[in-house]
Amino acid sequence: MEVEDASLDGFLSGKPLPAEAAIVRDYRDQFALARRVNRECHRLIFGADVRNRDGQAMSIAGLFLRSLQHYQAVVLVLEKGLVASGKVSVRAELEAVFALRMVAASEENFRAFVHDDLIRRRRLMENAKKYDYPILATLREVISDEDIEEIKQRIISVGATELSTRKMSEEAGLHDLYVGVYPLLSRAAHSNVGELDAYLIQGADSEVREIDYAPSRDEIPSLLLTAADFILLGADAVAGRFEVDFGTMRTELSAAIKAGLDE
């Protein structure tokens, strides 16, 4: 299969791929709505009164900003035609929204979220000591066996237990999304065999005739609007916790998203 030199850089080429212009043209309305949602969500968090000594409020703000970062990644990669990467970013966004809404639901959930981090930090520290891999080198150099023992004792003293994504979705009131949507997004994250067929265009004789470098572009509108809906679920928790009036804008944006998904 002959490959032109201009194609060898893929999405890292300095010039837009032909598909990019078509994507922006064909889905102009969906991208415009996605960017408007992004702007209003930033307006919401910048208007929130986050107090330094309120750990729950600070965690909510941080989780919303992390959710927004994943949301913006969805928009950026889908503009390029990176549909699989877009699905992975939507999945990461949804996980962040699970955590955000869980933490916002109660003080008890906030403490569980903080304690869960102790377990994850201990595991990371132990793996950094155990495995010699470049990305772990900096961490391995600054931790000691005493540090690991200290965090183990803290885990015991607070009775920390590990939070699963399922548990967070339940506490967030979004378990239906975990059961129905999360597995679909996870297929792209885990590179299942069914996700790979789209890259190979076969003829009637089942021989591979062509490689589709940016397949599944027809999924872009629904992914954009789904991501927008998810970030508004996070925005609900932020507006409620910080008592920011987001109701009218939320209703308007949700109606636009629903209309787009129903088309």
Question: How many distinct structural domains can be found in the chain?
Answer: 1
Inside any domain, residue 10: no
Inside any domain, residue 158: no
Asked if the model's pLDDT at residue 6 lies above 80, the reply is: no
In terms of residue numbers, what domain contains 199?
A: 17-104+172-262
Inside any domain, residue 249: yes
Q: What pLDDT, in 10s, does the model give residues 206-255? A: 665 555 555 578 899 999 999 999 999 999 999 999 999 888 888 998 89
pLDDT above 70 covers a percentage of the chain that reads 87
Q: What pLDDT, in 10s, does the model give residues 173-189? A: 999 999 999 999 998 88
Alpha helices, DSSP H, located in 15-164: 18-26, 28-46, 55-80, 83-105, 107-130, 137-142, 145-158
Q: What pLDDT, in 10s, does the model give residues 26-44? A: 999 999 999 999 999 999 9
Inside any domain, residue 162: no
For the chain, first and last CA: distance in Å? 39
Inside any domain, residue 150: no
Inside any domain, residue 212: yes
- What pLDDT, on a 0 to 100 scale, did the predictor assign at position 85? 93
Over residues 130-153, the mean pLDDT reads: 90
Inside any domain, residue 193: yes
